[in-house]
Amino acid sequence: MSKFTVTVSALALSVALAGCAPAKAPTTDTETVKADAVAEATAFVDRAEAELAAMSKEVSLAYWAQETNITDETDAAAAQAGARATTLAVNLANESKKFNVDDMPYDVARKIRILRSGITIPAPSRDGAAEELSVITTRLSSTYGKGKFDYKGTMINLDEASTIIETSRDPEELKAVWEGWRTVSPPMKADYARMVDLANEGAAELGYPSLDRMWLSNYDMKPEEMEAEVQRLWGQVEPLYKELHCYTRWKLNAAYGDDVQPKTGPIRADLLGNMWAQQWSSIYDIVKPDTTPVSYDLTERLVERGYDAVKMVETGEGFFTSLGLAPLPETFWERSMITRPEGKEVVCHASAWDLDDEDDVRIKMCTEINSEDFFTVHHELGHNFYQRAYKNQPYLYKNGAHDGFHEAIGDFIALSITPEYLEQIGLISAEEKPGADADTALLMQTALDKIAFLPFAITVDGWRWDVLNGKTAPEDYNSAWWDLRLANQGIVPPVERPADAFDPGAKYHIPGNTPYLRYFLSFVMQFQFHKAACEQAGWEGPLHRCSIYGNEEVGERFNEMMEAGMSRPWPETLEKFTGTREMDGSAIIEYFDPLMVYLKEQNEGQECGW
């Protein structure tokens, strides 16, 4: 996604639509003043959108060049472009403060509020601050992207380390690789602390007590209301996570023994098959249920059918076009980074980009031929199809209804990667398609990704909010991180962490300054979208068996929701597709209900919790 445009996100707004009566010439001094103010504000918004659109194109290209070829030169160019962009955004936000949005028509008011709260890392307006902040944020990104560590005499990168974490079943090897990757992040700590100081100073200039309050102002409700909303949604799904945690710990104990993974208490983080213990599907071989198994391995099928990275992406595109959406432009295939290029340092973290706010959409991935990246491709393409859907909106509306929408779109589509879909595209045969007796196994595979992720998602920004509001000081960064991970996820590091550790920095979204609440919201909303789509399609079976592949009627309503972009408060946009104005976790509970029954049966007699 364009790093400049994604800093614009949804915000609180209660301004009503302008009246529908025919316009009349002002008849009093007060009306004249008000009309003049509206005209001035409208002209300001028009100018701001034009300047931001031009800057976005320039900055997006600089960031793309830097993330796909990290050098001193591209680092410097990205830092310079970022400084110019931040300065422009901050100046416009400060200039907008002279307008009283309560006196403005709907579109003018909404766009001004977006200008004020949509900067992810705002710089103070004093001389040199934007330049300093941009150098720091670029250095953080570069340090992460170039990260390597010595393992058995060889310098390995995150891709290689992650493969070991996913596939090894040697607890000593897992611990060594887990620790090794976290040697990359301590050099970031001082930069990160300085960045927090600068960004909070910038947020204060814009009228926010701290940057976390500014971020939480982007959801069409007050920050404290949004925090309560997160807790409400987490409360709906937490019982399912606790059952999954209990079951997984029992299976890990059986596999590794008491000395590695005790029967009670938290789970050792490096045993869960993911560098950050955020998704656990890689240990399915350890925790698979004692029920009818799934008759195929998707990774094996992709390899057997001769899939390469391009075919993976073509298949993902094919799902979207089956819904009646237009194919991706030829420039997507010419300009995307689909595999890791030879001889270059790159940021491999998968992302989707919109470089001109029109048709120059791309993805950046170091794609591997496995089931995880097959799903990731669908997720990233969801961003691209969303970006293209709202391309005709005014510049400040070219974004998701809120950031959770953008993340939910592709994952909602990926929920339709069912056995039926895999048969339709030739990845499995009719004989291999599992029956209803394999539902527990299918749901377990999905839960290890989707349910395991939820508490991690609220942990990342829970930690960051306390850092941004000053509750957590730099010397407590790491201890606060693990306190929260224990409280929310029930996990612990495999070894005592050193005093200078900065383990949050080992996760891309911390040095990359990507707000993380969006992912929690998206994991709730994707199931909500899925249920609505299946109802629209007339599906009458269990939710986890429903696929909307090839349904153009659903695709039409889906595209209508995407086309709205950020032009309306998100409850209105949500209602377009789901019929409700409220985010709701009940679809998750319905989707996984058969698995919940199984987990409770298996956990009977276990000492669950931590």
CB of 220 closer than 8 Å to CB of 154: no
* Candidate list 245, 509, 530, 544, residue with the active-site label: 509
Q: How are beta strands 491-492 and 267-268 bridged, if at all?
A: parallel
C-alpha 355/C-alpha 237 separation (Å) is: 37
In angstroms, rounded to a whole number, what is the distance separating the alpha carbons of residues 251 and 357? 48
Q: Can you tell me which residue has the tokens 């298996």?
A: 602
DSSP element (H, E) containing 526 = helix 517-536
* Closest to 101 in 3D by CA, of 45, 48, 50, 46: 45
Phi, psi of 81 (to 5 degrees): -65, -40
Torsion, CA 42, CA 43, CA 48, CA 51, rounded to 10: 150
Has 509 been annotated as catalytic?
A: yes
CA–CA dist 168, 294 (Å, integer)? 22
Strand 361-364 to strand 148-151: parallel, antiparallel, or no bridges (unpaired)?
unpaired
Q: Which of 67, 380, 407, 544 is catalytic?
A: 380
How far apart (Å, rounded) are the C-alpha atoms in residues 195 and 500? 18
Report residue 108 CA to chain centroid gap: 29
Start-to-end CA span in the chain (Å): 38
| Residues forming beta bridges with residue 492, ordered by sequence position | 268
Helix or strand (DSSP H, E) at 354: strand 351-354
Catalytic residues, which ones?
Answer: 380, 509
